[in-house]
Chains A and B, each alone.
Chain A
């Protein structure tokens, strides 16, 4: 547990109620309490500290993954291979910043204006964001400084680990220029009270050494230290309520024993990740909001995005030992651009990636066995790995819905996650596989394996920002079009997904939203 005691805010006090303590919720709690605004943070998971983290893939997965039941549908391969695990996100204080790998590229200017740049893509539900890169740029600066992104604001680069040597060597030989060991949200040298990396090889399991930024090691402890943050762990929000004027007025939550409580709210900030946030809005239907809270547009849960992803694992004659060192401290940005002569809209990054044998076996080719499979495993120390991550198309039918026939431990309907790949996603993935093959072959790969997407770690959309209320769920500051005082504060608000890893942008949007809320309070508008 934290050394500082969390504040105790009475249930009837109208606080800002923040649902979730990850990149969005943790950042809001920090930013608002710094401005003197009391916050109640409802976190469904436990308070895991670095001492608790297990440097063991399955052990850590069992410790922190969100393992409550979910269902899947659609043609995506995850529905076949991992039908009850559509997403790999964290249920603990810090949310998925606990297991994020750390890559922090910014979105590009054109990625905020995809409808204008891409035109009418059949099957895609594209609109421009109601904000631009210029609107977000000052908050990107603040987010990079909070996170301590390498290569930014004077922070030094991480050194090259073995996996990066292969990755960057191949990138250089095929003519890529825009490669580096970052920007990356882990300290190369001590910064902000946290030490430099010891290259221990574990990121997705939580960083025991705390070189990696997460809201569990920075924002939440500092929010608690103000005496204004009441962090309630193992408390899962089950309903957001509104008053007779239509304003968000309270949150009902279940404590660790399943007992329901109601916290009064002056504002509600929903940051439960893009599966749980729309779920909670759908669970909060009322006579005034029969299709779910803030869902007059019918867009809640729709336009679910998970990034176009894929991995390539390449086998060499000589040892690589990819597992030693920072997992994702290697980024190639050369393909993160718009050039439809490649056969698709949007762009993608290549990023180093390493799995241990336990997870490589489970994910390299789900369901595989026999000699072809064991040859991949036998080559483990001679293997280098990378991840392909790019923009996927928002589709109305890619969607989070309630599945009333399956309930969780509290008795609430779970979500079904429906995904069909868009042809643009498929074309981009094939392009990425091809470039990764060339990259690795340029430094002597004797074989490569194309690994399909993992259960989703980048869950986006589902409560998207829009200028016009009928096209989305929230406005340019993340406030629900239809419910004053209700904010969505996580990746759910992303109008489109861009190519970049989303955490930096979620943090930047949350800092901007906190400023908006504080100013609205000061003007007595909320």
Chain B
């Protein structure tokens, strides 16, 4: 196992990068910090990921003209767009898209309630509480029309 150590400053920069790549201004830092730790853990699973993450974080300020953490969200995203294909940033995104959105604190912010089995499902907890549209028919159509499975012109031998 490789052993890549990242300083608190590098970790903070990684958190800032994650917040710029996945801008959710109302989210707390917790999910991004946990995701940063997951990225660092991944970097310690194989040498290539570790090497590329170290190189990427070490050069990010330089790429940003001195101080990536000081950039506005818009400018930071623009800088990241320029390096979208860099291996370290790809590796970060691969971990982040799972880590951030599998985080229960994020689910709470997004309004997702998750598992409901232990609470009796959503049957009595709002599975049909949408009230801004009329209640639709749930049975199959039983009116006078018949679905035309094959258009007349598409019958074998039909003149087209």
Q: Residues on A close to B: CB < 8 A? A: 55-58, 108-110, 116-117, 151, 157-162, 164-166, 168-169, 171-172, 177-182, 197-202, 208-209, 318-321, 323-325, 333-334, 337-341, 356-358, 360-362, 367, 369-371, 373-374, 377-378, 380-381, 443
Contacts and interface: CB of A to CB of B under 8 A. Distances in A.
Contacts of B139: 151, 157, 180
B128 interface: yes
A58 B112 contact: no
Contacts of A116: 156
Contacts of A56: 114-115
Contact of B101 (A209, A318, A367, A377): A377
What are the 9 closest A-B residue pairs judged by CB atoms, nearest first? Answer: A198-B121, A168-B136, A361-B101, A200-B121, A55-B115, A381-B111, A325-B127, A324-B122, A339-B151
Nearest to A209: B117
A209 B141 CA distance: 30
B136 A160 contact: yes
Interface string B72-103: 00000100110000000000010011101110
Interface of B: 21-24, 77, 80-81, 93, 96-98, 100-102, 106-107, 110-117, 120-123, 125-130, 132-141, 143, 145, 147-151, 153-156
A177 B154 contact: no
Nearest to A361: B101
24 contacts: A117-B154, A157-B139, A160-B135, A162-B130, A165-B128, A165-B130, A171-B136, A178-B141, A198-B122, A323-B113, A324-B113, A324-B127, A325-B127, A339-B154, A356-B112, A357-B101, A360-B101, A361-B100, A361-B101, A362-B97, A362-B101, A369-B21, A374-B22, A380-B112
Contacts of B116: 55, 198, 200-201, 324
A157 B136 CA distance: 13
B137 A168 contact: yes
A90 to B, nearest CB: 19
Given A177-B143, A374-B22, 17 more contacts: A110-B150, A151-B140, A160-B135, A160-B136, A177-B141, A180-B139, A198-B123, A200-B123, A208-B117, A361-B101, A370-B23, A371-B23, A373-B22, A377-B110, A378-B110, A381-B110, A381-B111
Given A110-B150, A370-B81, A373-B22, A158 B138 contact: yes
